[in-house]
Amino acid sequence: MTAPATQKSPGLTFCIPNWNHRRFLPRSVRSALRAMRALRAEGVETELVVVDDASRDGSLKYIGSLRNFYPDLAVRAVFLPRNQGLAAARNYGLIHAEFRHLCLLDADNEVIPENIPVFYRTMLETGAALVYGNLIVKENDQAIRFLSNETLHTRIYRKNYIDNFALLDGRQALEVGGYETGLRFVEDWELMLRFLAERRPIVFVPVTLGYYHQVPGSLVTTVAEVVDESIRRVYDQNRHRSETEAVLGRMYHPAIGWII
């Protein structure tokens, strides 16, 4: 996969892939729309792209009506003709986003609108390929634990502990090949390791980005113990890298600068 020849505009695209998540999608969409307004108040151009991966649960009718309900915001709906998988849906967002930087959130995610400008500023000021922050995992609307709440260490070669709910430099993601469509459950892990292999910066912001609503079938539970040995073979060729717990990523906050 190669990056499009056209130059992406400055701004932020919120990309939500969806497959049979009609029940949860409105919450994710509303949070993205509120975040768009927060960024617009600071002069940042935004859009929302919902990529539906051939859902069969009534999602299409809801997604198709979004532009009518929010005429003041840039909202696009994309309907894939057949189910192609999460990686393909995310790649579509990377390729067709109007803006270079994206906020990727799944239908069971909810972004905190007032915090999103901190993450966007971090993307611009650090040139990072990936910027992530604290996520609060909720079950039945009760907070049960944190996720993605530390800088990147070498144990990432053994197991993924950073969720894909993050901000991404679409140009850098496409330059390294985008999401691998031949994988399932671990495509976000593989992209992160490819960023590391290509020495692309990954930055943690000590601010809460949003909520991960844990429901039956959520990836946060499905992949808790998934380890793809073929990925480890490719990226963890020197065992000491994943045993010494060396710091790989960095920490940054726009009000402070580099922390680590």
Q: What whole-number distance in Å separates Cα of residue 115 and Cα of residue 215?
A: 24
> For the residues 69-87, what does the mean pLDDT come to?
94
Write down the pLDDT at residue 2.
Answer: 47
Query: Hey, where are the domains in the chain?
Result: 10-258
- H or E segment and range at residue 252: strand 250-253
- Terminal CA-CA length for the chain: 33
Write down the pLDDT at residue 141.
Answer: 87
Q: What whole-number distance in Å separates Cα of residue 112 and Cα of residue 120?
A: 13
Write down the pLDDT at residue 232.
Answer: 81
Write down the pLDDT at residue 93.
Answer: 95
Global confidence as pTM: 0.91
Confidence bin at 3 (pLDDT 50/70/90)? very low
| Number of neighbouring beta carbons within 10 Å of residue 168 | 28
Write down the pLDDT at residue 85.
Answer: 95
Q: What whole-number distance in Å separates Cα of residue 25 and Cα of residue 186?
A: 22
Please choose, from the candidates 250, 255, 237, the residue with its C-alpha nearest in 3D space to the C-alpha of residue 153.
250
Residues belonging to the chain: 260
pLDDT above 70 covers what percent of the chain?
92
| Number of neighbouring beta carbons within 10 Å of residue 159 | 15
Q: What whole-number distance in Å separates Cα of residue 234 and Cα of residue 231?
A: 5
pLDDT tens digits, one per residue of 124-146: 999 999 999 999 999 998 999 99
Q: Check pLDDT > 90 for residue 214.
A: no
3 state SS of 20: coil
The fold for domain 10-258 equals Spore Coat Polysaccharide Biosynthesis Protein SpsA; Chain A (3.90.550)
Q: Are strands 99-104 and 166-169 parallel, antiparallel or unpaired?
A: antiparallel
**Encoded amino acid at 136, one letter:** I
> For the residues 76-83, what does the mean pLDDT come to?
94
Q: What whole-number distance in Å separates Cα of residue 9 and Cα of residue 15?
A: 16
Q: Check pLDDT > 80 for residue 244.
A: no
Please choose, from the candidates 184, 28, 10, 208, the residue with its C-alpha nearest in 3D space to the C-alpha of residue 104.
28
Confidence bin at 225 (pLDDT 50/70/90)? low
* Rounded alpha-carbon distances, angstroms, from residue 212 to 32, 135, 255: 14, 6, 26
> For the residues 233-251, what does the mean pLDDT come to?
82
Name the average pLDDT for the chain: 91
pLDDT tens digits, one per residue of 145-172: 999 999 999 999 988 999 999 999 999 9
Write down the pLDDT at residue 159.
Answer: 87
Q: What whole-number distance in Å separates Cα of residue 184 and Cα of residue 166?
A: 19
Q: What whole-number distance in Å separates Cα of residue 255 and Cα of residue 137?
A: 26
Q: Check pLDDT > 60 for residue 219.
A: no
Q: Check pLDDT > 60 for residue 57.
A: yes
> For the residues 60-81, what does the mean pLDDT come to?
93
Write down the pLDDT at residue 227.
Answer: 65
For 71-110, the three-class secondary structure string (H helix, E strand, C coil) is CCCCEEEEECCCCCCHHHHHHHHHHHCCEEEEEECCCCEE
Q: Are strands 250-253 and 202-213 parallel, antiparallel or unpaired?
A: parallel
In the block, residue with structure tokens 């609108």: 113
